[in-house]
């Protein structure tokens, strides 16, 4: 655990002790002399202390560089094929932009769902998958045709498929009736015949009805177009295209504690901002890693913390963090210069010149790094740190 105390970063001694403990455990396995052992211990300690940032370091800029430089190396438009079939999930630069811009819905929302122990079998997993995947009438019918003699629409169902999905024909009729008013449906074997309760039914009416019928939602969750079962280790995992955590949580057999989505806003709405922060980190890490980029996770942690510090997810950009800076000059420096300057002039806003950009603009020493201190002096705490460093 790190502590920031009056600008002096003190490493919690327990962390150093943890590292040294690991050293003590494993040192005997190495075939090296006592002198080398001592040197190793010292360099371990030094290495660890090198990892601190000094007070006043512009860690935001460092994070920005560390993420953007590798991002230029990533492919512009690439898709990752989850589960080997069908599911194209946005990856690469478009996905990174999507996260940092805090878009309300990703282009390809996706969920990863685990099952409860007692449902963790292939058959049950497939059943659950079929009750999650959106099924419209068009998915389960073989043919729909117009009967111009009786002025009706006949829908022939795929018998095998509706048995597999366990959808009863009368349920289909009631689903259709809920969606389309003034309609009668009669089941005739594999066929359902729909008749309009209307005096004069024209052919045009029938055509409209036929297309409406195809889109009637019969089973599953709206918006989830694919649901694939894959076995990872001992678990059967459902991968979906389309995301709706709230509705999925109501389906029996789902392990609610382990269902995740790549829609950050949905996560924030369902389980809170802290979970959203974790998702931001894991999504960016995964995207970068898929591209072979190895950015230190600390930079991403910083970005995620900043994006969520207001309690809501803020984008990094004009309408997000950069647009909500308190300094007028800093905002004007970024984008929409004239807008910000005019607004400030009209409202009579003053600028304290505390930030970096403002000071660079007027040619003063920026309050960053060594420019932050005017008088340096040894305090009790810094003396303690020096002592620790000597040890």
Contact residues for another protein, defined by CB under 8 A: 1-2, 4-6, 15, 18, 245-247, 249-250, 256-258, 260, 267-275, 278-279, 297-298, 301, 305, 308-312
Instruction: Give me the helices (H) in 133-168, please.
Output: 159-164
Shortest Å, Cβ 64 to another protein: 19
Nearer to another protein among residue 308 and residue 333 (C-beta): 308
Nearer to another protein among residue 86 and residue 272 (C-beta): 272
Shortest Å, Cβ 298 to another protein: 6
Residue 275 CB neighbours (<10 A): 14
Terminal alpha carbon distance of the chain: 20
Tokens, residue 85: 């079939």
Shortest Å, Cβ 131 to another protein: 15
Residues 6+ away with beta carbon under 8 Å from 193: 147, 152, 153, 154, 155, 185, 186
Shortest Å, Cβ 241 to another protein: 20
Nearer to another protein among residue 6 and residue 39 (C-beta): 6
Shortest Å, Cβ 133 to another protein: 18
Nearer to another protein among residue 124 and residue 298 (C-beta): 298
Shortest Å, Cβ 42 to another protein: 23
Residue 217 CB neighbours (<10 A): 15
Shortest Å, Cβ 143 to another protein: 36
Distance of alpha carbon 334 from alpha carbon 124, whole angstroms: 54
Nearer to another protein among residue 157 and residue 248 (C-beta): 248
Strands of the chain (E only): list them: 2-5, 8-11, 78-82, 87-91, 110-113, 135-136, 141-147, 152-157, 183-188, 191-196, 217-219, 226-232, 235-241, 260-261
Distance of alpha carbon 311 from alpha carbon 323, whole angstroms: 17
Shortest Å, Cβ 282 to another protein: 9
Do 290 and 80 meet the contact criterion of CB atoms below 8 Å apart?
A: yes
Where is 124: in which H helix or E strand?
A: helix 122-132
Nearer to another protein among residue 74 and residue 314 (C-beta): 314
Which of 38, 89, 13, 73 has the alpha carbon at shortest distance from 243?
89
Nearer to another protein among residue 185 and residue 355 (C-beta): 355
Shortest Å, Cβ 314 to another protein: 11
Nearer to another protein among residue 173 and residue 273 (C-beta): 273
Which of 258, 162, 172, 259 has the alpha carbon at shortest distance from 213?
172
Distance of alpha carbon 34 from alpha carbon 21, whole angstroms: 17
Shortest Å, Cβ 47 to another protein: 15
Residue 341: strand, helix, or coil: helix
Tell me the C-alpha to C-alpha distance, in Å, between residue 92 and each of 79, 88, 99, 286, 293: 8, 12, 11, 10, 10
What's the Rg (C-alpha) of the chain? Answer: 31
Nearer to another protein among residue 147 and residue 274 (C-beta): 274
Residue 27: strand, helix, or coil: helix
Nearer to another protein among residue 5 and residue 370 (C-beta): 5
């Amino acid at each position: 655990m790190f502590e920031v105390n009056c600008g002096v970063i003190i490493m919690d001694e327990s962390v150093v002790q943890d590292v040294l403990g690991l050293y003590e455990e494993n040192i005997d396995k190495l075939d090296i002399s006592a002198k080398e052992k001592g040197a190793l211990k010292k360099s371990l300690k030094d290495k660890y202390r090198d990892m601190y940032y000094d007070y006043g370091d512009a860690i935001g800029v460092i994070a920005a560089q560390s993420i953007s430089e590798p991002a230029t190396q990533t492919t512009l438009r690439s898709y990752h094929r989850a589960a080997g079939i069908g599911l194209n999930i946005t990856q690469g630069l478009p996905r990174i932009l999507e996260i940092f811009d805090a878009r309300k819905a990703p282009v390809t929302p996706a969920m990863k769902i685990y099952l409860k122990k007692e449902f963790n079998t292939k058959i049950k997993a497939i059943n659950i998958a079929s009750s999650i995947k959106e099924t419209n009438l068009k998915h389960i019918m073989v043919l729909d045709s117009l009967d111009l003699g009786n002025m009706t629409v006949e829908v022939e169902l795929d018998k095998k498929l509706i048995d597999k999905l366990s959808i009863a024909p009368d349920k289909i009729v009631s689903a259709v009736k809920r969606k389309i008013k003034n309609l009668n449906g009669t089941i005739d074997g594999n066929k359902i015949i729909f008749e309009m309760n209307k005096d004069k039914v024209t052919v045009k009416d029938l055509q409209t009805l036929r297309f409406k019928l195809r889109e009637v939602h019969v089973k599953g969750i709206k918006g989830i177009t694919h649901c694939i079962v894959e076995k990872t280790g001992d678990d059967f995992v459902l991968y979906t295209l389309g995301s709706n955590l709230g509705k999925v949580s109501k389906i029996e057999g789902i392990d609610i504690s382990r269902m995740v989505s790549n829609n950050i806003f949905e996560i924030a709405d369902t389980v809170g901002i802290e979970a959203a922060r974790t998702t931001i980190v894991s999504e960016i890490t995964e995207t970068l890693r898929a591209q072979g980029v190895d950015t230190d996770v600390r930079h991403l942690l910083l970005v995620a913390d900043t994006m969520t510090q207001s309690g809501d997810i803020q984008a990094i950009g004009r309408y997000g963090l950069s647009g909500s800076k308190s300094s007028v000059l800093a905002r004007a420096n970024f984008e929409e210069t004239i807008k910000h300057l005019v607004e400030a002039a009209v409202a009579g806003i003053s600028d304290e010149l505390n930030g970096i950009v403002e000071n660079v603009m007027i040619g003063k020493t920026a309050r960053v790094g060594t420019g932050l201190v005017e008088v340096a002096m040894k305090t009790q705490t810094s003396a303690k740190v020096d002592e620790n460093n000597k040890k």
